[in-house]
Structure 1
């Protein structure tokens, strides 16, 4: 018989308290909910363990011999991992995909702490899942389990499975610290190989390409590690067509292989297909070269997006085209919308997005206007337009649009003529306060968003930013052209934050303003002090069940009746995705007469759940944010709650805070947000009175 660790703990409580234990004692001892206790009782009874209830106390039934058997079982039974069936099946699939020898069912059973019969059942589901990729599961009696598939497909599916199941923080913590991990996915590839690959990539690749996310860095480490493991076992790729413009990436791969070979006592044979395969992957992960992957129809859409962003920038007088990463993300999103690759968000209000349209009303109006100009045949719902607003608002809050102009000078070798050009620019254009020189070969290591202006002495085919083509000596006609360009630039994007701010402020008379501030201060203080972060152990991977667990763990004085609140949350989930784009969090919020006061709480999940995010991508959610409010809210209460939801999605640093921050860090951040709002209110009142 196999028991979970939690079931063993419950049985241990029964054995230590032969007069019985209450449900409350079990809840407090194990830190689980009443519903979870009853569910475990049901599973124990299925294993023919008698549990009797007498006057609210539970104990194990049976004679002395039977109880001795239970005690022996608790002490000697293999504890079954709490890993969900879905994760276990994926662990089996990943192991089969990367293995170079047949795998044994008994080994899977031992590694995953389940019975052989359970593995046999899991294999049926694994086989169906692999069939979708035209991958065949081979079962040979006496030999074991193996996979039959094209090598390229095999490697790619393996990496995809791993990326979906590995948390970035856990991966790097495991990789860079002398610790072991209970995560079976982290143990599929030998840690020594991962460390060697990581070290060689840092020296040969990571300094030469721009990797904009930890996920992409992990992807490259896994791709190179999987390729080496399979290649060293003699597993060959079919012909791989090198993508265009991958010559320099092939150079990086050769450099990597040379470094890796030095770590081995025996030689490693890598053929051209492996080089081309890895070079293509590097090209895909280098975000500066994302434009190279567009086909003709996508390229046409990207041009429209560029015009759209330019029009919005000129309308609100803020340069949104500075950051290529912003342009890339927005372009990919718009391509999916225009080509109908994703379903539109519903034409019903989504509070977290709707609040942005009020906070950035001038920017939102420009987006609405120019979307219809550049994409007249692609009608979007209000929620979908507000999601596009989110991209712009995020860029606005993170970008420094100061008027001390910075310039990047691009030339062939970075010496000689570039120094002459820099000196000429400083002399002729004193408004350019800082100039950096870059060679073309090191361009992908530079954050282009830090520069207002870009000058180049050679043509840059497919370059992601507007630039001025000039000669090294900066001729008179070029100076005149640049002067005109700077005048236009300053007219389009003036530094005048008081009158040109994208965020509009609407002020009322001082007395009303002061009253509103005092109410907001009290409400904000209560909301911040009530913030909690709780841990949901062994949570279900079904979102509805997670909602019920979150509500069950909420303060008993917060909700009068849980069922109507749960139904409201379920209705919200069915209306539109609740995952936050580019994060590992989901925001659930609702208003109900059954809720007594405003509340903001967070729940960390033992088992991550897969959810659709608002930008139509699948994300792995490891923390659920729950925002609850009564039906009747004052304007000030509604405003502060909107500020909280807006803050969550406003920047990458905020997403990281609400994903990984502890209770005190999040309380302090929200307190700062509310204090800033109070200061603005006081300043506004003072200005109005004057």
Structure 2
């Protein structure tokens, strides 16, 4: 490894630059790292010195930005060395303790306190205090820290407990959706993939092993595997990757797994055998028989997007046993309504299908997440309290405590049955859903348009930029659908692919179903005076967009960077503001490309301090032909939408968001734009915004 004496700051700069597909401005880089431009510029000389050893150069160009230039092999070598150069902010106690937990889980072997104090550059007393702090977390998963005076510390516990702890650590520190997307997508988001490869996840799971495990599972094309929920699928991948990694390192896997004697060699067990056969062929290793049982356990305890229930194929003895438990559960819920509940075949079949994996999870201490638990406890407290008695039946049967997350799921089953039994009409309400992307203008509007067509009046959809997520917004929103990670969200978040695949739609549909049956989160108050102000502000901003609409031609051979330069100069007479516009548009492009070849246009949009009013502009190559630069992918029009970063950002986002949807849903606008007649474009824009304004007013009533 060629890196030596490199600071954490330089390491972070290099990692960001390595993941860029286009130049990034110093200002954008500084903002991303929460540093000043001057600080970034001071590090440039040391970066150039480091890069000489890799035959990579740091290039810069005024008005464009900075970028790394070199072969992909050399860049990959630098990425590898940076990932091996493990640094952290030791003054951050929470981060240090998290990393200490990671080190202990990775190694397990005996280490002296001095090793960790040197590793983290703190005193042995500090490490000792950190160990006491994390010991409670490890104990929760059946592991304990063993201290041997004069020798050191090690971790003790069963193999099953060890793996459960690693799984929990990963679940707590990484988004499982991001993990699946990064490893399964052929064109993964660079930033998300980098966070997996070089973050904590990359230090505990081998990147190549994970990708090969997923390839094995996908290649089997097994319905039972491919219908696993996000968390169950990722849990299986993580479990297998850990096992493969240890086998490849010739680490001993204990075989004292008496629990496996209770596993019946059924369809799940045979599927586990098939998976092991695929893995042995892929990795050219011999996998211990105990691993078949471990994998079988995960399959049995997994949840599926589609419940596969077939009473004819379930073992008759097992079916009778489950029904016996179920009868006890129903009696414990409410003796008075038990008889009628047992006649509800929809309830019985649904609860039976839920019960089988639940018992597996409880028996082996496997975790499950329930994103709407707080809402269930708050809005259905009476049913939840009764379901605590139901959970006690399961506790007696399994001898294991029932987490409140499991009780929450039982509440949903029993609650739906009670609604049917009492013969009352379910109170269905409109669900408030927030659609989130970087700016609230582009990608979120594409998602909003699709979801609106799918769910119609069942939902009230609102597009937000990532920076718009305030406590007020969360207070009036049931859940978010987001193409980006949302930190510290106070409400459930469904992370999706921006194109919304079938699995994403299914998750959203289930969440809508649950919230439709819950009380609304907030009361709609009569704020007539506030509404009048909103109407006046909306009218003023729409008038500005129509009146100040811009149209201009550019050279057909123009590059993307040159186009941004011309846009900046055209839309602001001041050089400093022009530069800000260019940089903000480029930073937005680096998040995800705004060129949509399937629609024939680019949608260049951003929130920026480079303008003081909302701006909509249409830009075309001269001679009304396609842009020649390959980066543009043969598009013929570039639409530009700029929103000032001020107190009216929500209103302006809504206006520009409506225009975004119109561009996609109304082919007429694209046809008129391609004719190159500015006044015709303005007339059509005015007509559509007039319709939007009317709809906006009616929505306030």
TM-score, normalisation: structure 2: 0.39
Larger relative contact order (C-alpha < 8 A, sep ≥ 6)? 1
